[in-house]
Amino acid sequence: MQFAGVAAQVHGRVTVVSDVAPGGLELIRRFVNTVDLPSGPDELESLESARAWCLSHGLAPARNSSHLAQLRDFRETLRDLLYANNREGDGPAAWERVRPFLASTRLSLAVSPASGLELRPEDKGPIASLLAIVYESQLLGTWSRLRACRKSSCRFAYYDYTKNGSRAWCSMATCGNQAKAQRRRLRERTL
């Protein structure tokens, strides 16, 4: 799937090209950003909208409402992992929450004559495909750069391209400046 160089509108937020994750990881970023926290809108709100989102992103659609609830839970588990990639929250606990999702899917190693061994989803659910991307990006070393904004009420996903991996906010103009102003107020109060 090719997303590089695309500037897209996600819930009124303009996704700048510099946020776009490399390769298949962009699908994870878009999936996590299907909801604009803290109060929406949410592209996975109804079965109909979730089906449309999955199909337009090359994923098998959610089958029923319990499957949809599982998909939304998986999204928030991924967000917790991306928050941990930003040195926030509890990373080991977030990985523990991945266990039941992995148990509900089937993935296996397969030979791809062009590229060698490949992890392939054996069932058609979107979670298996997304888990395969997470695994692949860990091998490629790109996973730790996919992050959720440090502001806890935002946690919008972006890819950190900075040299030293120091980008903490989805946007310096909004969340970053708010955090700076808050720190300044706290400092002034303690003077």
- What does the binding site for Zn ion look like in residue numbers (CB under 5 A)? 149, 151, 154, 156, 170, 175
The smaller minimum CB distance to Zn ion, of residues 49 and 178, is found at 178
Q: Minimum distance from CB of 178 to Zn ion (Å)?
A: 9
25 within 8 A of 142, measured Cβ to Cβ: yes
Q: Minimum distance from CB of 149 to Zn ion (Å)?
A: 3
Cβ neighbours of residue 102 closer than 8 Å, sequence gap 6 or more:
131
Q: Minimum distance from CB of 54 to Zn ion (Å)?
A: 25
Radius of gyration, CA atoms only, the chain? 17
The smaller minimum CB distance to Zn ion, of residues 108 and 152, is found at 152
DSSP 8-state code for residue 173:
I
DSSP letters along 47-98, please?
Answer: HHHHHHHHHHTT-PPP-SHHHHHHHHHHHHHHHHHHHHHTT-S-HHHHHHHH
The smaller minimum CB distance to Zn ion, of residues 142 and 178, is found at 178
Q: Minimum distance from CB of 102 to Zn ion (Å)?
A: 29
Q: Minimum distance from CB of 174 to Zn ion (Å)?
A: 6
Of the candidates 29, 35, 32, 28, the one whose C-alpha atom is nearest the C-alpha of residue 16 is 29
The smaller minimum CB distance to Zn ion, of residues 86 and 105, is found at 86
Backbone angles phi, psi at 85, to 5 degrees: -65, -20
26 within 8 A of 1, measured Cβ to Cβ: yes
The smaller minimum CB distance to Zn ion, of residues 139 and 173, is found at 173
Quote the tokens at residue 66. Answer: 């319990």
